[in-house]
Amino acid sequence: MTAPLSPENPLVRTLRDLHRAEGRRHAGAVLVEGRRAIDGFLAGAWVCDLILTPTDQDPPDTWPAHLCRHVSPKAIARLSQTKTPSGWFARFLLPKPEPLDPQRGGLVLVGVGDPGNVGTLIRSAAAFACPQVVCIGGADPFGHKVIQASAGALCQTRLSIHPAACGPELLAGAALTALVVKGGHAAESLPRRPRWLVVGSEAEGLDAAWTAACSEHITLPMARTSESLNAAVAGSIACYLLRQSW
């Protein structure tokens, strides 16, 4: 390896640009932090072009050694987005978006704002073989916290990203199933066929246009004393129950 990356190296600035959505879009790349997260991403299909490791640690033998270089403690502090930086970073190139296949179904997140929820839902979708995830508004799916929560699932997922104003006409003609807090059917009662599970924002749920566009509504049965489930948990249970739609 060459000398450890110093905080003054222009590469540090280039990598810090990936902390912002605009910088990621411009560079067509994301920065993944943490050894375990990097492991998950290396196992996926995205192309890695740079790995940084702390000066006192060498990368595992299974990692591409020619992409690795050490990084100084001061540069780690500048690059990290966590409270307790591990000193492991990797840059991955974003793949070209694949076209949406409305008839095949999948998961739609409409305005899900918490990045931990978005990452956890993408992780659950991947676990239950969901073929594609559509994000409409909400947290940027390539942000740091989404990447961490997705635990590598992000790069196994066919992802389609749209602005908050995008309405259900995006999936015109496809079967849409809304997850709603009350009044819906049991997920187990739905016929087996391709469909989109539509999950709304944590605070407000789905807006009128999306609700009206969904021909099916499901609700998880809950104890009367309970106000609600965590949004990522509710969406993940629905993914589990509808996994045979995919």
Residue 6 interacts with a copy of itself (CB under 8 A): yes or no: no
Amino acid at 31: L
226 binds a copy of itself (CB under 8 A): yes
d(CA 202, CA 197): 15
Nearest approach in angstroms of CB 166 to a copy of itself is 27
Give the residue with the Cβ less far from a copy of itself, 40 or 59: 40
- Binding flag, residue 120, a copy of itself (CB under 8 A): yes
Count of Cβ atoms closer than 10 Å to residue 69 Cβ: 16
Residue 230 within binding range of a copy of itself, rule CB under 8 A: yes
Shortest spacing between CB 230 and a copy of itself, in angstroms:
5
Sequential DSSP letters for 84-119: S--S-EEEEEPPPPPPP-GGG-EEEEES---HHHHH
**92 closest CA partner among 150, 31, 153:** 31
Q: Is residue 233 a contact residue for a copy of itself (CB under 8 A)? A: yes
237 binds a copy of itself (CB under 8 A): yes
40 forms part of the interface with a copy of itself (CB under 8 A): yes
Find the radius of gyration of the CA atoms of the chain.
20
The answer to whether residues 149 and 140 touch, using CB atoms and an 8 Å cutoff, is no
Other CB atoms within 10 Å distance of the CB of residue 98: 10
Check residue 120 and report its DSSP letter. H
Nearer Cβ to a copy of itself, position 115 or 152? Answer: 152
Q: Exactly one of 148, 177, 236, 245 binds a copy of itself (CB under 8 A); which one?
A: 236
Closest distance to a copy of itself from the beta carbon of 58 (Å): 23
Choose, by CB under 8 A, the member of 30, 51, 139, 151 that binds a copy of itself.
151
DSSP class per residue in 169-218: GGGTTS-EEEE-SSSPBPGGGS-SS--EEEE-BTTTB--HHHHHH-SEEE
Give the nearest distance from C-beta 35 to a copy of itself in angstroms. Answer: 13
Q: How far is the CA of 36 from the CAs of 33, 59, 93, 112, 156, in angstroms?
A: 9, 12, 18, 25, 16
Least separation in angstroms between CB 38 and a copy of itself: 13
User: How many binding residues for a copy of itself (CB under 8 A)?
Assistant: 30
- Point out which residues bind a copy of itself (CB under 8 A): 40, 43, 120, 123-124, 126-129, 149, 151-153, 156, 220-223, 225-230, 232-233, 236-237, 240, 243
